[in-house]
């Protein structure tokens, strides 16, 4: 029996996870030539600005050599001109001039306080990597100011409230819980593991209804009155009875009849601080399962938070904390420590302690906060200063200043592999431009990787370029697992090479839409004809490019049209009627063959007929019926797995008028899971098949009904057979015609995906 995912796509992840703009040339101070200009000989080129990527909050230190090794040439720059920005805002930095010559050279370093993209930021689901930009530019530059302490201010309290946020995004949920009521609703789609079930369900042992979470509360002030537990749970169905224990002591016992259906529950309880250990603790969450909902009592854990009183002692020579007044922060193993006030992360201040005391338990810094309200503070020793995750030399590509009518957007991985297609289209007279997603991020989202940046670029190009892009080809696959929580990106190459936009489809949840990128006017309809080659390797790109070029230049043209229709006792001849209506508008010189399942009650026979029909090199293959991500009919009579049986040498345009065949963002495509290989969608598989399969595919990433598929198909084939347009244009025109007549909804416009080159012509 074939395996497939049906409407509800829930993907288990086995692994868990841990939690500007450059530009301007180098400024050489007085303009003389006394700069040292030491350029790294291993660099093929150097730049005068750097992209500094970080994934964790902390105090960062970058040395001259770090930049030199990254092929960034700021040698000899006037230190007063060094400028750092983040998301367009200048960031205060500390410049350490080791040899006191006011020039940037060996031994010198730069320090700044960096923050990862935080939870709660709408870009967090795509990336935690924040980008800081370093360059040299004359002007009044921001520097970290030093402020002195006073020993005469009032002594602060002996502890502060520390809030420990515990959340791991290990489980992707496609659906919106609860269902969205407006397009602006934002729902959590990443939970901490699979749903909680109730006890007593066969095969669902203890871990399905009782789970333990370890957390750490070092330097706990047990004399504090209480500690707290906050909890966010997401109901999937039923009503619930939950119990929560901290180190074995019951702190939550709630049978909640109002927390039902798909409601969210946020709890906030307190308990004696003595329940906590000065160190490791265990939180246990239990689904008691004794409500009337029984087996339908299903919910997710999103996060929990522990609030507790923390003494003024550092952990491993570092602490982020709060305070007011005179504070003595102890337990440092070195007297080489720094204390910062970080309430404004872009403009932190360095606090000079009153004194540093030495004791058997280590060093203690005595300092005062700079204002009469509670400050956010950060302290660390020299060895705890972090290095960035990456430093990259940056040179402005300046994609805004270009123009093109045929635009290729690709990952740098595929720039070479797509060049033959770019050249071929250029020879045909198109004005072609290939840009990388990296260039787009750099110039449209300050280096931060989001799908929105691609749309913003397309919007800019469409609205400003003298030659507007008419065709947009996205080259690279995508996944819902943007941050590679699963590790399948690392291990199997299932990555967001060109990321997907996820569109909310009522009742189903998130599905990819490429149409969204190309609708820059906001009226749902695309202003540009867009297509995608969902490649995971240069070989994938080459396979598709070879097929496109040979389809257009080398192969004898077929005129056969194959119409495949599903049949079931429930749906009856519904899908045949749709096929028949397509057959009725196909010109007489295109012979139509109808392949209807009703005629082949044996699935094996039906599959053999489908394979044989495709192998006879038709011009068009149109399928109407039920479907899954990977296959046709409810039984997956023909699926991604069957691509191996194709031997066709002419490459048809495949149109799938069914559910999900274009859902191209499964995170586990090609992954062997327990001996079973998960195939990509059949839409992708048709296009990527090397030397066979399809030249282009039109398929839906969502569900849909014949009542909408019929007007879309009528419009499409009327255009394909009667107008001299490309396939990309035909798809755009068909969407527009059917949508403007009110025959199809926004959902259909957004979620029908064109796989292939939108410039490809069928005949
Ligand atoms: Ca979460
Ligand atoms: Ca539009
Ligand atoms: Ca894919």
pLDDT tens column, 443-462: 999 999 999 999 999 999 99
310 pLDDT tier (thresholds 50, 70, 90): very high
Give 658 Cα–ligand 1 centroid separation in angstroms. Answer: 32
Give 120 Cα–ligand 3 centroid separation in angstroms. Answer: 27
Please list the residues that pair with 90 across neighbouring strands. 85
For residue 74, the Cα-to-chain-centroid distance in whole angstroms is: 33
Give 513 Cα–ligand 2 centroid separation in angstroms. Answer: 14
Give 756 Cα–ligand 2 centroid separation in angstroms. Answer: 21
Please list the residues that pair with 110 across neighbouring strands. 62, 95
User: Would you say residue 3 has pLDDT above 50?
Assistant: no
User: Would you say residue 377 has pLDDT above 80?
Assistant: yes
Look-up of token digits 């537990």:
229
- Note the pLDDT of residue 368: 96
| Residue with more model confidence, 30 or 634 | 634
Which ligand neighbours the alpha carbon of 523 most closely? Answer: 2
Terminal CA-CA length for the chain: 39
Which ligand neighbours the alpha carbon of 753 most closely? Answer: 3
pLDDT digits (tens, 9 = 90+) for 252-297: 998 876 777 788 999 999 999 999 999 999 999 999 988 877 778 8
Q: Which residues fall inside 5 Å of ion ligand 1, going by CB? A: 169, 190, 302
Q: What is the mean pLDDT of the chain?
A: 92
User: Would you say residue 25 has pLDDT above 50?
Assistant: no
- Note the pLDDT of residue 239: 87
- Note the pLDDT of residue 763: 67
Q: Which of 533, 510, 514 is nearest to 458 (CA)?
A: 514
Give 234 Cα–ligand 1 centroid separation in angstroms. Answer: 10
- Note the pLDDT of residue 41: 84
400 pLDDT tier (thresholds 50, 70, 90): very high
* Domain 399-755 in CATH 3.40.50.850: no
667 C-beta neighbours (distance < 10 Å), count: 24
Give 389 Cα–ligand 3 centroid separation in angstroms. Answer: 28
- Provide the 3-class DSSP secondary structure of residue 50: strand
- Note the pLDDT of residue 361: 85
Q: Which of 548, 524, 559, 511 is nearest to 660 (CA)?
A: 511
Which ligand neighbours the alpha carbon of 530 most closely? Answer: 2
User: Would you say residue 34 has pLDDT above 60?
Assistant: no
- Provide the 3-class DSSP secondary structure of residue 19: coil
- Note the pLDDT of residue 257: 66
Which part of the chain is CATH 3.40.50.1460?
399-755
pLDDT digits (tens, 9 = 90+) for 654-688: 999 999 999 999 999 999 888 899 999 999 999 99
User: Would you say residue 708 has pLDDT above 50?
Assistant: yes
Query: Lowest mean pLDDT: which of 196-200, 343-347, 738-742?
Result: 196-200
Distance (Å, whole) CA 70 – CA 459: 33
Give 239 Cα–ligand 1 centroid separation in angstroms. Answer: 21
Which part of the chain is CATH 2.60.120.260?
161-311
- Note the pLDDT of residue 572: 86
pLDDT digits (tens, 9 = 90+) for 116-151: 999 999 999 999 999 999 999 999 999 999 999 999
Give 652 Cα–ligand 3 centroid separation in angstroms. Answer: 20
Q: Supply φ then ψ for residue 80, to 5 degrees.
A: -70, -15
pLDDT digits (tens, 9 = 90+) for 77-113: 999 999 999 999 999 999 999 999 999 999 999 999 9
Give 296 Cα–ligand 2 centroid separation in angstroms. Answer: 43
Which ligand neighbours the alpha carbon of 515 most closely? Answer: 2
Which ligand neighbours the alpha carbon of 664 most closely? Answer: 3
Interior/surface letters 102-139, b for 16+ CB within 10 angstroms, e for the rest: ebbbeebbbbbbbbbbeeeeebbbbbbbbbbbbbbbee
Cis check for the bond before 178: say yes or no (omega within 30 of 0): yes
Give 608 Cα–ligand 3 centroid separation in angstroms. Answer: 26
Look-up of token digits 């923390």:
310
Distance (Å, whole) CA 127 – CA 118: 9
Average pLDDT on 564-589 reads 93
38 pLDDT tier (thresholds 50, 70, 90): low
Give 384 Cα–ligand 1 centroid separation in angstroms. Answer: 29
- Note the pLDDT of residue 235: 93
Give 390 Cα–ligand 3 centroid separation in angstroms. Answer: 28
- Note the pLDDT of residue 328: 96
Share of residues in the chain with pLDDT > 70 (%): 95
Domain 161-311, CATH among 3.40.605.10, 2.60.120.260, 3.40.50.300, 2.40.50.110: 2.60.120.260
Give 265 Cα–ligand 2 centroid separation in angstroms. Answer: 39
Distance (Å, whole) CA 442 – CA 87: 10
- Provide the 3-class DSSP secondary structure of residue 421: helix
User: Would you say residue 206 has pLDDT above 90?
Assistant: no
């Amino acid at each position: 029996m074939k395996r497939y995912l049906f409407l509800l796509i829930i993907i288990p992840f086995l692994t868990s996870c841990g939690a500007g703009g450059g530009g301007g040339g180098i400024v050489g101070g007085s303009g003389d030539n006394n700069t040292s200009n030491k350029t790294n000989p291993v660099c093929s080129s150097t730049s005068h600005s750097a992209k500094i990527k970080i994934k964790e909050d902390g105090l960062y230190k970058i040395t001259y050599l770090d930049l030199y090794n990254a092929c960034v040439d700021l040698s000899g720059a006037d230190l007063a001109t060094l400028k750092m920005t983040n998301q367009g805002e200048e960031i205060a930095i500390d410049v350490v001039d080791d040899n006191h010559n006011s020039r940037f050279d060996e031994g010198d370093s730069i320090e700044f306080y960096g923050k990862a993209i935080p939870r709660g930021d709408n870009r967090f689901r795509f990336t935690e990597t924040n980008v800081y930009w370093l360059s040299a530019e004359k002007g009044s530059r921001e520097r970290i100011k030093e402020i002195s302490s006073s020993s005469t201010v009032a002594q602060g309290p002996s502890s502060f409230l520390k809030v420990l946020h515990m959340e791991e995004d290990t489980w992707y949920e496609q659906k919106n819980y609860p269902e969205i009521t407006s397009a602006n609703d934002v729902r959590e789609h990443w939970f901490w593991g699979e749903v909680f079930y109730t006890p007593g369900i066969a095969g669902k042992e203890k871990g399905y209804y009782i789970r333990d979470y370890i957390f750490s509360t070092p330097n706990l002030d047990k004399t504090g009155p209480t500690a707290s537990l906050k909890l966010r749970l997401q109901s999937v169905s039923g009503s619930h009875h939950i119990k929560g224990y901290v180190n074995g002591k019951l702190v939550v016992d709630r049978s909640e009849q109002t927390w039902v259906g798909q409601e969210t529950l946020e709890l906030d309880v307190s308990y004696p601080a003595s329940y906590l250990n000065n160190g490791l603790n265990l939180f246990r969450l239990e689904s008691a399962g004794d409500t009337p909902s029984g087996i339908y009592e299903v919910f997710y854990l999103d996060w929990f938070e522990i609030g507790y009183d923390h003494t003024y002692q550092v952990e491993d020579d570092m602490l982020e904390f709060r305070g007011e007044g005179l504070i003595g922060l102890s337990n440092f193993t070195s007297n080489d420590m720094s204390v910062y006030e970080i309430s404004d992360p872009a403009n932190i201040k360095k606090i000079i302690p009153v004194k540093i005391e030495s004791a058997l338990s280590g060093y203690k810094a005595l300092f005062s906060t700079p204002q009469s309200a509670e400050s956010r503070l950060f302290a660390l020793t020299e060895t705890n200063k972090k290095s960035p995750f990456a430093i990259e030399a940056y040179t402005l590509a300046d994609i805004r200043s270009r123009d093109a009518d045929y635009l290729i957007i690709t990952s740098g991985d595929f720039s070479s592999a797509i060049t033959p297609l770019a050249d071929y289209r250029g020879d045909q007279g198109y004005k072609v431009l290939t840009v990388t997603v990296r260039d787009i991020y750099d110039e449209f989202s300050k280096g931060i990787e989001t799908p929105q940046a691609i749309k913003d670029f397309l919007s800019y190009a469409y609205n400003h370029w003298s030659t507007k892009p008419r065709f947009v080809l996205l080259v690279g696959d995508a996944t819902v697992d943007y941050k590679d929580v699963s590790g399948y990106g690392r291990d199997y190459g299932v990555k967001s090479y060109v990321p997907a936009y996820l569109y909310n489809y009522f009742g189903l949840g998130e599905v990819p839409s490429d149409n969204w990128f190309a609708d820059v006017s906001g009226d749902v309809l695309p202003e540009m004809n867009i297509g995608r080659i969902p490649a995971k390797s240069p070989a994938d790109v080459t396979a598709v490019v070879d097929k496109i070029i040979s389809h257009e230049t080398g192969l004898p043209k077929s005129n056969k049209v194959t119409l495949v229709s599903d049949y079931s006792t429930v749906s009856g001849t519904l899908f045949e009627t749709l096929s028949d209506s397509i057959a009725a508008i196909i010109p007489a010189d295109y012979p139509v063959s109808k392949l209807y399942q009703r005629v082949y009650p044996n699935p094996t026979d039906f599959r053999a007929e489908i394979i044989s029909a495709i192998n006879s090199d038709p011009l068009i293959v149109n399928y109407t019926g039920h479907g899954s991500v990977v296959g046709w009919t409810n039984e997956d009579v023909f699926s991604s797995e069957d691509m191996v049986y194709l031997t066709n040498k002419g490459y048809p345009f495949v149109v799938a008028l069914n559910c999900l065949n274009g859902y191209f963002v499964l995170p586990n495509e090609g992954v062997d899971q327990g001996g079973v290989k998960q195939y990509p969608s059949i839409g992708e598989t048709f296009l990527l098949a090397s030397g066979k399969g399809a030249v282009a595919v039109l398929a839906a990433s969502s569900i849909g009904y014949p009542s909408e598929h019929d007007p879309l198909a009528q419009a499409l084939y009327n255009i394909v057979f009667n107008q001299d347009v490309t396939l990309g244009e035909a798809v755009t025109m068909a969407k527009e015609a059917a949508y403007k007549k009110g025959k199809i909804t926004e959902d259909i416009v957004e979620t029908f995906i064109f796989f292939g080159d939108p410039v490809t012509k069928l005949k």
